[in-house]
Amino acid sequence: MNIQEAWAYGRLQLAHASSFPDLDARLLLEYLLQVGHSFLVAYGEKDLTLEQELGYRQFIQRAKQKEPIPYITGMAQFYGLDICVNPSVLIPRPETEQLVECALAWAKSRQPLQAVDVGTGSGCIAVCLAKHLPRAGIFATDISSEALEVARKNAAQYVPGRVGFYEGNLLTPFPAEADLIIANLPYVSRDEWTMVDDGVKWYEPTIALIGGSDGLDLISELLQQAMSKLRPGGAIFLEVGWQQGQAVVQLARKRFPSADVALIADYAGQDRIVSICTG
């Protein structure tokens, strides 16, 4: 089997298991061979070794079982970085890149400051903040020690010594006040969970996805905690479910009645980010 034949095999095998069979087959082949797209195109007639062919077939079988490609390769693209991931952490989504953009736009003119990423997971948000806010103190919390292990690995690769990590529930372990609080917390409701893609339900950590009966349990708890943790003039940026925007805005206005609370749509036009600016 040569590269071209392997790619065609993977595409065919994933035709009914993936929304993007050609892309997924290609990504797995690139990962197997440790090459880029251009190499696959230029050297399509190059034969795989027997070991490579067997390895590729194994990858394709895992993908046919709906295992997400980033968990197979151990890597997900986020904000221009290759972020290490495993089943202990949620796979970063494009929507969360917009959350980072909003937070950076607010923070860049306000350095130095202290920022905390709550429920950091893979650490992708904290790493991006540290990378783009060189004069800020960046911290991250998570209730999962396994997730923090992944986050520390990503931070060590891209921003060594720049992120302080705390294990515990939301803001509880963070010992100081922050100018910026940013969070992509679990916000899937119990009813929505039944409609979530099988690959997500079977492989991604439930603790990072389900936010209670209405999906707002942790968001509400964070806002309550933030009342004593957010410095005057600070801001909070939250990623929320596409049907939760108005509910979260109401929660935010109840906790921070004098703040400027705004609902920001994602690039698909869905409610996605709630910003709470107190100054």
Kindly give the confidence (pLDDT) of every residue in the chain, 279 residues in length, as a single tens digit, with 9 standing for 90 and above: 999 999 999 999 999 999 999 999 999 999 999 999 999 999 999 999 999 999 999 999 999 999 999 999 999 999 999 999 999 999 999 999 999 999 999 999 998 999 999 999 999 999 999 999 999 999 999 999 999 999 999 999 999 999 999 999 999 999 999 999 999 999 999 889 988 998 999 999 999 999 999 999 999 999 999 999 999 999 999 999 999 999 999 999 999 999 999 999 999 999 999 999 998
Answer positive or negative: Cα dihedral of 239, 243, 245, 247: negative
Domain 75-277 has CATH 3.40.50.150: yes
CATH 1.10.8.10 matches 3-65 = yes
What is the pTM for the complete model shown?
0.94
For the chain, domain boundaries = 3-65, 75-277
Residue 99 burial (10 A CB sphere; 0-12, 13-18, 19+)? buried
